[in-house]
Amino acid sequence: MSTLSTLRAGIAAALTDNTLYTVFSFPPATPIANSIVISPGDPYITPSNNSYNTIAPLANFQVSILVPLLDNQGNLNGIEDDILRVFNLLAASSYTYNVSEVSAPAVLNAVSGDLLTCNINVSILTSWS
């Protein structure tokens, strides 16, 4: 397993809260309600130096939060609770990270039903090995 896939799995483990949602360390074939999906960000890797591999790069991930779209208020309270939970679990983890932004909630029409989703962009210091 590469460093990046190990890091993705570690982030998924750090964000696990079986009472609130299911965590995927990869994009699932069908998005489901009450889930967190860790996927590569864009750009995926940000090198810190052009010619030295001893300087750690940043691995960029998109943490997607998916909740059921319930009504006109759209489960906004539910997605806000999950955003706060993700932030608190990241803060409790051992990762050196930076959150650059949290997107506004949007509707996702999925095979599993209509979902309310938002993305948290996270950069984590990693290594080249």
Separation of CA 80 from chain center: 14
Residues 6+ apart with CB under 8 A from 110: 30, 31, 32
CA 15, CA 9: separation in Å to the nearest integer?
10
Of 47-56, 61-70, 120-129, give the lowest mean pLDDT range.
47-56
Average pLDDT, the chain: 90
Query: Residue 85 pLDDT more than 70?
Result: yes
3-class DSSP state of 40 = strand
Q: Indicate the pLDDT class of residue 12, thresholds 50, 70 and 90.
A: very high
| Residue 1: per-residue pLDDT | 45
pLDDT for residue 60 is more than 90 = yes
